[in-house]
Amino acid sequence: MRKKLIITAVLASVMVMCFAQKPHKIMFYNMENFFDTIDDPETNDEEFLPDGAKRWNTAKYDKKLRNMERVLFDIAAIDRNYPAVIGVSEIENRSILEDIASTRKLLPARYAICHYDSPDLRGVDVAFLYRPDVFKLEGSADIPVRIASLPNWRTRGIVTMWGTIDGEPFLFMVAHWPSRLGGKEASDPKRLAAASQVKHIVDSVMAANPATKVVVMGDLNDDATDASVVEGLSAKGKIKDVKAGDMFNPFIALLKERIRQIRPDALLMGEVLEDASNKVAYDVRRRYFVDGELDSVMNYPFRTAIVNFMRGRDSGPELKNTVMSIVENYPPQVVACNMNLLGTHDTPRILTALVDDFDGSREEKAARHLTKNQMEVARDRLQMAVFLQFTLPGCPSVYYGDEALMEGYKDPFNRRTYPWGREDKEILGFFRHLGRLRREREELRLGSIRFFAAGDKHLGFTRSYEERSARFM
Residues 22-36: pLDDT tens digits? Answer: 688 999 999 999 999
**177-197 mean pLDDT:** 88
Mean pLDDT for the chain?
A: 90
Q: Based on the residue annotation, tell me whether 185 is a catalytic residue of this protein.
A: no
| Cα–Cα distance, 65 to 34 (Å, whole number) | 9
Q: Which helix (H) or strand (E) holds 439?
A: helix 425-440
318, with CB counted inside 10 A (0-12, 13-18, 19+), is middle
User: Which pLDDT score is estimated for 281?
Assistant: 64
Active-site position among 271, 275, 318, 424? 271
Name 388's Cβ contacts closer than 8 Å, sequence gap at least 6: 306, 309, 459
Side-chain-side CA neighbours of residue 433 (13 Å): 9
DSSP code of 217? E
Lowest mean pLDDT among 90-94, 289-293, 361-365: 289-293
Q: Based on the residue annotation, tell me whether 271 is a catalytic residue of this protein.
A: yes
Please give the residue that has the higher pLDDT: either 223 or 209: 209
Q: What distance, in Å, lies between the first and last C-alpha atoms of the chain?
A: 58
Which among 328, 323, 288 has a CA at the least distance from the CA of 305?
323
pTM to 2 decimals? 0.67
Lowest mean pLDDT among 53-57, 238-242, 365-369: 238-242
Q: pLDDT per residue over 431-457, tens digit each? A: 999 999 999 999 999 999 999 999 999
Beta strands in 203-359 (DSSP E): 213-219, 235-236, 247-248, 269-270, 280-281, 284-285, 296-297, 339-341
User: Which pLDDT score is estimated for 1?
Assistant: 39
| Cα–Cα distance, 12 to 354 (Å, whole number) | 39
- Are 175 and 194 within 8 A, CB to CB? yes
Active-site position among 166, 241, 257, 364? 241
12 pLDDT more than 50: no
Lowest mean pLDDT among 217-226, 303-312, 315-324: 217-226
Name 33's Cβ contacts closer than 8 Å, sequence gap at least 6: 48, 90, 124
User: Which pLDDT score is estimated for 10?
Assistant: 39
User: Which pLDDT score is estimated for 8?
Assistant: 45
User: Residue 2 — pLDDT band, cuts 50, 70, 90?
Assistant: very low
328, with CB counted inside 10 A (0-12, 13-18, 19+), is exposed
Long-range CB contacts (within 8 A, 24+) of 364-369: 365/409, 365/410, 365/413, 366/413, 368/409, 369/407
Please give the residue that has the higher pLDDT: either 234 or 305: 305
Name 437's Cβ contacts closer than 8 Å, sequence gap at least 6: 390, 444
User: Which pLDDT score is estimated for 31?
Assistant: 95
Helices within 354-424 (DSSP H only): 362-367, 372-391
Q: What percent of the chain has pLDDT over 90?
A: 70
237 pLDDT more than 60: yes
- Are 276 and 294 within 8 A, CB to CB? yes
User: Which pLDDT score is estimated for 290?
Assistant: 74
79 pLDDT more than 60: yes
User: Which pLDDT score is estimated for 439?
Assistant: 94
Q: pLDDT per residue over 36-59, tens digit each? A: 999 999 999 999 999 999 999 999
User: Residue 282 — pLDDT band, cuts 50, 70, 90?
Assistant: low
3-state class of 459 per DSSP?
A: strand
CA angle 305, 306, 311 (to 5 degrees): 100
